[in-house]
């Protein structure tokens, strides 16, 4: 008689609406998904710079969702999107996606340069990874959400999915504040940089094979199977 291995629940920390997509993937993988967003994405007032640009760089679908009507003024620019989710959001907003990268902003800029695009505008978040040689305009912010006492108890025995360095750092801080031992939590990180952000002492830390949600869910699924 075979015994099915126990599976740990998965803790989704990313903000809405992305948390729903991650939770759906986890459910399809047979895991219990617990949504506990650490941030709320909100739009910022912004305007298009008075300069000529060759291309529009989008490293997050949040930039498309939060940019609002101002996107129309940029509809003539070819878009370099990082990740399929960002590309899909851009196309749904009526933008022309010319290049889709599957790694990060640095690689996306290299793709743009290979096409001769040097004057690049990026719509991005208030908190962002700096990239050289481009013009940044912040169109959204990720504001921390308050968590009540005991909210992190669900992390005991769970696998936490880390989509960003900022989320990893805040999760690490909250775990200590709420008295949850690191050794009771496993981490699935979307990149090596994100995996380093929360420090040491966790039960296990694994890095996704590719920096996207599907690969991160696959990594979490592996971690969720005891032992």
H-run or E-run covering 188: strand 186-189
Token pair for 56: 């529009």
Q: Which of 193, 145, 128, 126 is closest to 15 using CA atoms?
A: 145
Same domain, 122 and 85: yes
Same domain, 17 and 48: no
CATH code of the domain containing 210? 3.40.50.10090
Same domain, 151 and 206: yes
Same domain, 138 and 53: yes
Same domain, 202 and 154: yes
- Count of C-beta atoms within a 10 Å radius of residue 168: 25
Same domain, 135 and 151: no
pLDDT digits 0-9 by tens, 68-98:
989 999 999 999 999 888 999 999 999 999 9
Same domain, 112 and 183: no
Cβ(126)–Cβ(46) below 8 Å: no
Model confidence at 219, pLDDT cuts 50, 70, 90, reads very high
pTM: 0.88
Cβ(104)–Cβ(82) below 8 Å: yes
Mean pLDDT within 44-62: 94
What are the beta bridge partners of residue 190?
none
Higher-confidence residue of 23 and 111: namely 23
Cβ-Cβ contacts under 8 Å for 193 (sequence gap 6 or more): 165
The answer to the question of residue 183 being in a domain is yes
- Number of domain units in the chain: 2
What's the domain range around 164?
A: 10-38+146-224
Q: What is the reported pLDDT for 4?
A: 54
């Amino acid at each position: 008689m075979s015994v099915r291995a126990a599976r740990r629940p998965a803790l989704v920390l990313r903000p809405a609406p992305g948390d729903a997509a991650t939770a759906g993937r986890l459910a399809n993988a047979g895991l219990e998904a617990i949504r506990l967003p650490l941030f709320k994405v909100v739009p910022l007032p912004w305007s298009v710079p008075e300069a000529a640009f060759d291309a529009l760089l989008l490293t997050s679908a949040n930039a498309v969702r939060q940019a609002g009507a101002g996107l129309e003024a940029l509809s003539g620019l070819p878009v370099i999107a990082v990740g399929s989710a960002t590309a899909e959001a851009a196309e749904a907003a009526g933008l022309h996606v010319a290049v889709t990268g599957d790694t990060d902003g640095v690689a996306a800029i290299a793709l743009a340069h290979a096409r001769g695009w040097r004057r690049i505008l990026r719509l991005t978040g208030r908190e962002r990874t700096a990239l050289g040689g481009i013009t940044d305009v912040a169109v959204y912010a990720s504001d921390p959400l308050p968590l009540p006492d005991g909210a992190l108890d669900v992390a005991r025995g769970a696998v936490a999915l880390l989509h960003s360095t900022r989320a990893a750092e805040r999760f690490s801080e909250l775990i200590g504040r709420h008295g949850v031992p690191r050794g009771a939590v496993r981490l699935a990180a979307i990149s090596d940089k994100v995996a380093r952000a929360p420090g040491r002492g966790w039960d296990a830390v694994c890095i996704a094979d590719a920096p996207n949600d599907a690969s991160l869910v696959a990594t979490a699924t592996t971690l969720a199977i005891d032992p």
